[in-house]
Amino acid sequence: MQIRPLPADESAVRRYVEQLWLPYHRDLETTIESHGLADEGDIDLVAAEVAFRLGRLEDDDYRLWIAVDTDASRGSTAESGPLENDGDLAGFVGTEIDDAPSVFDRPDRLVVGDLYVREPYRGSGLARDLIGRAAKRAGKAGCPELVLDVDVDNDRAIAFYEKLGFETYRRRMTVDVDEL
């Protein structure tokens, strides 16, 4: 298994969106009541996400790593990247640096925006490896903390993060404006 940065290349990003991003969000739809994608009749989800992700990859504070199962190799070299079909895409982690404003007494943080491992790879330690990759980036960026949001209904993710030592320090709450 190799963990590689997702290159800002349209074919690589399309493969990521089709094989990881879309299944991740489909899984969340079945787990999290408030999580839903737009109706595919209204929008081409893949094209919209590819365009969005290509823009995000140009931001120096944003990184996305892809886990590639090179044991499932189809003959390409291991260095060719996830766009060359050199293995199965197994999971991903996205991170972004959250610089602390100078008026606050807190360190810069690395925010884990998304973490996903495909079903056949769950329980293999891959999620821990992906968090480890995020922690490595945090160290290189001078961020002494990792932070993340997790849906309150995602019991499996909460248990995993707590097992790693993450602690709840804040709650995000929402309300429909019409209800106020």
pLDDT of residue 170: 83
Q: What per-residue confidence (pLDDT) applies to 28?
A: 78
Query: Quick one: pLDDT at residue 34?
Result: 67
Instruction: Return phi, psi of residue 89, to 5°.
Output: -80, 120
Angle between helices 22-31 and 45-57 (to 10 degrees): 110
- Residue pair 12/83 in contact (Cβ under 8 Å)? The answer is yes
For residue 94, the cross-strand partners are 64, 114
Euclidean distance between CA atoms 27 and 32, whole angstroms: 9
Q: pLDDT (tens digit, 0 to 9) for every residue of the chain, 180 residues total?
A: 899 999 999 999 999 999 998 888 888 777 776 667 776 667 788 888 899 999 999 998 999 999 999 886 554 444 445 456 678 899 999 999 988 877 877 888 899 999 999 999 999 999 999 999 999 999 999 999 999 988 888 888 899 999 999 999 888 878 889 989
pLDDT of residue 6: 93
- Specify the CATH number for 2-179; select among 3.90.76.10, 3.40.630.30, 1.20.120.530, 3.40.50.1400: 3.40.630.30
The three-state DSSP-derived secondary structure of 129-177 is: HHHHHHHHHHHHHCCCEEEECCCCCCHHHHHHHHHHCCCCCCCCCCCCH
What pTM was computed for the model?
A: 0.82
Token pair of 47, please? 């094209």
